Structures are given as structure tokens and as C-alpha cells.
Amino acid sequence: MKKYTFALFIFCAIAFTGCLNNDFMERYPLGNPTEETAFVTYDNFKAYAWGLYETLPKLGYGDTSTDDISYNQTRGSSESNWIRGLVTVPDKRNDTAWDYYAFIRRVNLMLGRIDSSQMTEAEKAHWKSVGYFFRSYRYFSLLSAYGGVPWIDRVLSDNDTELINGPRASRDEIAKHILEDLQYAEQHINVNGDGNNTINRAVVQAFISRFCLFEGTWRKYHGLNDAETYLKECKRVSAEVMNSFPEICSNYDDLFCSLELKDVPGVILYREFSNAENVIHATSIGGTTGASYYNPTRDLVDSYLCSDGKTRWNSPLYKGDKDMYDEFSCRDHRLWLQVTPPYRIDRSASTDAWGNKWQFTEVAKDRSFIDSLNIRLGIGYGSAKERQKTLPFRQGYDGGILGAVPHFDFYLENQPWYKSAFGYNNWKYYCTYLSMGSQRNEETDMPLFRVEEVMLNYAEAMCELGEFDQSVADRTVNKLRSRANVAPMKVAEINDSFDPKRDLGNPAYPGDYAINPLLWEIRRERRIELFSEGFRFDDLRRWKKCHYALKKKLGMYVKASDFPAGTKVTVDGGGTEGYLEFHPAQNHTWPDYYYLNPIPRNERVLNPQLEQNPGWDDGIK
């Protein structure tokens, strides 16, 4: 078997009839099983636990409710309700974080049967650790969404009325439970888990790092006590992970365009995909078709440093933003691998490996990023087996070639796919290969925990604790910059004038704060390295900076005179040239109560002791 996929065996574990354990070919008792017969041996628990992996994220484009990406499908209405200020209290738990209680019950079912099993004490401790990891994983989701929530650590019976009809536990209690469970798991889980790509000590430690950075900074910026406890724990555990994974992958693109992440340095846990197992995704092809509405913003593009390690505002290498070729020159190479670089070809001659006819134009700059990208990745033109990013861009269904980037939705040049309202396209998960086809059968793996995130967690925690120095920069930020062809951070040079666009606080938000220059640069590095991986919205929430997402989102600079007469070009402020505009400016502020989600109305009807989060009106008194 090419891959060991995350399979859903939950019903095999508790509702099978003569089911075989795939790993050990052990026949379970025939007939209708009970919890007593389903949870007996180590292998029983292993089979059941595979079903818990399905709660981990699937591949997709994250960060849409942020300042990084604008969802440009329908003018004025396709942005998220969080950005548009239209969030209301849901009637039911469906499709809300509250629904994770169903998953938590599944974990508690397993945990409740461990002590009565036939396993050794060490085996029992291991499976408790696996259960604690998964339960903590979803309690973290609940804590992030709602703050304090009911704490349920066992399968409830009809007699558990105090828990069924009880109030929410406090945020302090939930956070403490999560940390205690994860610390137990760190000490008692099998160091290597249950084989390749399973929950092991390093995975638990990486999750502690993520959770503690979130909780520590949430507490600091939302005026709660005990922030330092979590930041210090983030510092401790992150250092251990970094020691266990001293190397990072030399090619950033390999993290997102590899069929196998098994041997990629720094990858701690990943979701596996396989055509042979019919476990596939369609992320790459989805971004190549007419549905390519997830457009990176001007604000994001401006945030990439130049190769000398300076900002676009003060680097002598920056050539300006009036031309996309200039804008992408001498920049952090992650810009090239996340936002499609510019090019133009002549589609009228010669034939490539996909059967497309094209040739380079006679304009030197038109091919500059085709050459630069291939040199950067160490590959050649037109390899039909190539699975990394190559230009010219190819549409996913049939490998059809795109004549130029930028490719605007208002000027399609007879090619209606891979268009952009802003001129910028997100191609982080795009891979150049033929096997995508119309069946959407992509099988590139997805990292779930990687050491680069842990390095950034460590850097941020150290800065928040006042312990960030050049040695920390060299262990963290500068390793990432070296891979991206950016000069190293020199801590002594980061001062008030390093970035003239640094956030100095917004007077429209009482209590908003200026970000010190060093922390600003660490947050920049996190934004770039983890772009489109689903971190940005929660980062803005924990920093109490969600008003960033309400800034007017703009695209690249254009001139109407560069398009045929009659082409409708909409730019900021009107006129015939400027930065592309799609959605109008948001005319509201981000209210404080938006930092926590509303509890579904029916949950409060069923349990009147559940208090609604402040600010949300559900009509229940």
C-alpha cells in the first residue's frame, strides 16, 4: 500500500459483525458486540482510535475572513459575515464549534473503557494519552470559539443531571484541563506513537506549543490573568520540538506539492492522500478554474520583505508597484510560491509536454519569472511528471495553458479560468502535473504540524516574555528567511523606523495598542510563512486585532488605458488608474463581542443555565 491513510474505523470498532483488524488480522467475536467486547485489547483501542483522526483538518484555502485574502465572487456580498458585520445567533449547533461535543463523546467512550481492559499499565497510559490529545484538540476549538464551556470528561448517563443541565465552566478551568491533559499525554504516550504518521510525543508537544501560544497571548491582549504561565510552557515545549527537529525542508514548495511527506524534514504530522485508497482532494484544481475567487490582497503583498531584509517602504531594492514585474522583483521568494508571479507567452507556436502550442515572446521581462522560478526550484521546462510549481500556468482539468498573469476577471483574453479581480492569485497549493484531470483526484499530502510553526511559536513567546535576542532570531526567523532568499534579521537594527507602516494603534478602538518593532517583525514572519494555512483569523483574534480584516481590500495597480476601450476597470477612489477595488469599504467597526462566538439558541433552551456570551442577543432571558 502506497500510503497509510486516515481511515474511519469507528463503527468497525463498536458495531461490527465478524470484522477483521487490518493490521493484525485478529477476528473479533461474532454477534452483536458491546462496549465490553469492543474495548479489550491494545488492538481494539488502536482500531477505534483510527476513527478519531478524521477530526483533523482537510486540505483547503484558509484565511478568508482576514486581511490576507478577499473572497471576490460577488461584489459587496461574498465576503464572510464576520467581515460584513452580519453574524447572528444560530438556532442549532449544526456547523458550529458546539457540535464538537459529539466528537468529544466518542473520545470519552474510549477513555471510559481503558481501565477495565486487558492492557498493561503502560498500554493503558498510552491510550489515555491518545484520547487526551484528541479531546484536548476539540476542547481547544470550543475554548477558542466560546471561552468557557461545559467540561464533560466522561460519557454521561441520565443520572448526570448536574452536568447535563449545569452551567459553563470558566475559561480558566477549561484551559487548565486542556493543559493538564496534554502534559499527561506528553509524559505517557508512546514516544513513536503507533507507527509512522500517528499521534506521538512530538505531535503532542507541537500541539501544546500551539495551544499555549494562543492562550497566553489571548490572556495578555484580552486583559485576563495568567498569560505568563502559558507563554512559558510554550517556550519550554517549543524548544524541545526544535531540538527534535533541527532541520527544515530546504524547499518551501515541497511542503505543499509532495505526494509523500513521510521523509520531508520538519514535518511532524500530515494528512495523507492516495488515489489507490480513494482518499483524495481537489484543492489545486479548485484554484485553477473559474472558481479562483480567493484573491490575495494588496496589504498582504506589501508585507513581503525585499531580499535585503528591509520592507518595501525603505529598501533600495524595491522597484515600485505600478508594474507587477517590478513589484515581484528582489522579494521574499515565498511571494513567488504563494502568489502567482507575472509572465506573458505567445501561444501560437511550438508544443510543450501537454500538447500546448506556445513560445516565449520577444520581450525579455515576459519570461523573467518563468526562468527565475525554474532556477529556484531546480527544474526544467515542461516535464509532464513535474509536481512542483512551473510557469506558464496550466489549468487543472486538461493542462490548458494560460497566456499571461495577471489575468483579470474583467479582461479574460478568451480564457475564462484562473481569473482574478485583484490581479493576484493564491497558488500555494497549486502543483503542475497532469494526473489532476477532471476527476479532481489529487493526492498531494498536507502538513498538519510542522516545525516551522513551532519555531514561530517559540519566537513569539520569547518576544512576549522579553527574552528574544539574536540567538533566538538565528534559531527561528533566520532559518526561514534563509530558505526564502531573504537577508537575516539583525535584532539590533529593528527600531521604530524599520517599518513606517507598523501598527501604532487605532484610536477607533479604545484600548488598542501599538506593536513594538521587534514583535511586529515576528508577526510578519508568521503571516508570510503560514499564509493560507488557516492561522491568520485566530492570530488576529488572540492579538485583539480583528479590525485589520475590515480594512478596505485592494488589488494591484492598473491603468484603464492599458486595456481595450470600453473595458470596465474599477479602482479605489474612481478615476482611470489606481489600485483595483472589488468590495466597497466596510462602514462599521469590529465590536468586542465578536471575539467570541454566540452559543446556539437551542442549547440555551435545552439548558437554561448556559449563559450567552456578552453582546449576543438570542431573545432568551
DSSP-assigned states of every residue in 512-565: --PPPHHHHHHHHHHHHHTTTTT-HHHHHHHHT-GGGGGSPPEEEEEEGGGS-T
Cα–Cα distances (Å) from 325 to 320, 397, 406, 463, in that order, read 9, 28, 10, 35
pLDDT (tens digit per residue) in 421-457: 999 999 998 887 644 455 567 778 899 999 999 999 9
Is domain 89-199+591-620 given the CATH code 1.25.40.390 in the classification?
A: yes
pLDDT (tens digit per residue) in 598-613: 999 999 999 999 999 9
Cα–Cα distances (Å) from 50 to 197, 226, 498, in that order, read 12, 36, 49
* 385 pLDDT tier (thresholds 50, 70, 90): very low
pLDDT at res. 29: 39
Residue 182 identity: L
Give the count of beta carbons closer than 10 Å to the beta carbon of residue 256: 25
Average pLDDT, the chain: 89
Look up cell 484565511; give the residue.
63
The reported pTM is 0.92
pLDDT at res. 100: 94
Assess whether pLDDT exceeds 50 at residue 368: yes
CB 36 within 8 A of CB 110: no
Of 16-25, 95-104, 531-540, highest mean pLDDT: 531-540
